[in-house]
């Protein structure tokens, strides 16, 4: 009954005919891969865990794994390793019976979701909650110059044939300075402005057939930039949406979750 009520409410919120949305969505098993934010983020982060549990209660198949940028693993290997891990989690969802796959990222989980959707265009929808991790911004914005210096250092190491040597590099996460130890090559896979970890790079390469919801909070440091930095670079899709909510970077997923539910009903409807 709860699932039926969810479909009716979601359909009404998005201007859909309830019977049509119910018929279309109930024919599918939706698998949702939820990607948490960067250190100190992780699968136990209440800001994203409550959202994952909400979708699970609505009958979706949900995976909320620990990713290589969690507080415990920060940062574990090359960006490609993260994509491989996502591939395994998507396979798990399909093994559980998922016929449709939605990627939902928070903060650095957003560029990960976009990059995976570029590599695996059979994804059915992408949700970006408070997009974060901005390699181009790290390199260009004056207040983030410590990361730019590390990017240049890592590039020099690779050029000198030392790309597989480990070193200490800079990161800045929501204004907090961090130090990460990994190889220069692995660091660049996450921080080079031309890498797949840069949302502006991946967004432009996402298939036009994949609808994307971008959610940003009014108190998020990227509030004034998110639309032009990410959303406007996506190929046009009539089901894609840009949503502003009254929230900060951490609370945006919780604040927006009902609207995300409604959008998914629309984005996944077979019409």
Residues 30-42 pLDDT 10s: 999 999 999 999 9
pLDDT surpasses 80 at 155: yes
Mean pLDDT, range 59-80, rounded to an integer: 97
pLDDT surpasses 80 at 158: yes
pTM of the model: 0.90
Strands (E), the chain: 30-35, 61-63, 100-107, 125-131, 166-173, 176-183, 212-217, 241-245
> In whole angstroms, what is the distance from residue 167 CA to residue 210 CA?
38
Mean pLDDT across the chain, nearest whole number?
Answer: 91
What is the phi/psi pair of residue 241, to 5°? -140, 150
What's the pLDDT at 12?
A: 52
Mean pLDDT, range 146-154, rounded to an integer: 98
- Quick one: DSSP state of residue 123? -
What is the pLDDT confidence band of residue 191, given thresholds at 50, 70 and 90?
very high
* pLDDT digit string, tens, across residues 4-17: 554 555 445 444 44
Q: Which residue has the tokens 């984005």?
A: 267
What's the pLDDT at 24?
A: 45
What's the fold here for domain 2-132+202-267? Rossmann fold (3.40.50)
**Domain boundaries, given as residue ranges, for the chain:** 2-132+202-267, 134-196
What's the pLDDT at 58?
A: 85
């Amino acid at each position: 009954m709860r699932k039926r009520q969810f479909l009716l409410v979601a359909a009404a919120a998005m201007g859909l005919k309830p019977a049509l949305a119910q018929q279309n969505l109930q024919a599918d098993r939706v698998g949702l891969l939820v990607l948490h934010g960067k250190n100190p983020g992780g699968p136990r982060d209440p800001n994203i865990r409550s959202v994952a549990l909400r979708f699970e209660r609505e009958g979706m198949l949900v995976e909320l794994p620990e990713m290589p940028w969690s507080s415990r693993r920060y940062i574990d290997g090359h960006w490609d390793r993260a994509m491989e891990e996502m591939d395994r989690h998507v396979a798990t969802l399909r093994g559980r019976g998922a016929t449709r796959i939605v990627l939902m990222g928070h903060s650095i989980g957003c560029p990960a979701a976009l990059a995976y959707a570029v590599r695996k265009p059979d994804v059915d929808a992408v949700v970006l909650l408070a997009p974060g991790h901005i390699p181009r911004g790290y390199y260009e914005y004056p207040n983030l110059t410590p990361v730019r210096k590390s990017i240049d250092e890592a590039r020099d190491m690779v050029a000198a044939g030392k790309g597989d040597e480990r070193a200490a590099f800079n990161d800045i996460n929501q204004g907090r300075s961090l130090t990460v130890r990994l190889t220069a090559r692995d660091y660049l896979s996450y921080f080079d402005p031309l890498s797949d970890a840069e949302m502006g790079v991946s967004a432009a390469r996402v298939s036009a057939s994949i609808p994307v919801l971008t959610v940003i909070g009014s108190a998020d440091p990227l509030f004034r930039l998110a639309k032009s930095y990410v959303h406007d670079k996506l190929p046009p899709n009539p089901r894609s949406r840009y949503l502003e909510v009254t929230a900060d970077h951490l609370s945006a997923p919780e604040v927006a979750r009902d609207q995300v539910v409604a959008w998914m009903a629309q984005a996944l409807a077979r019409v």
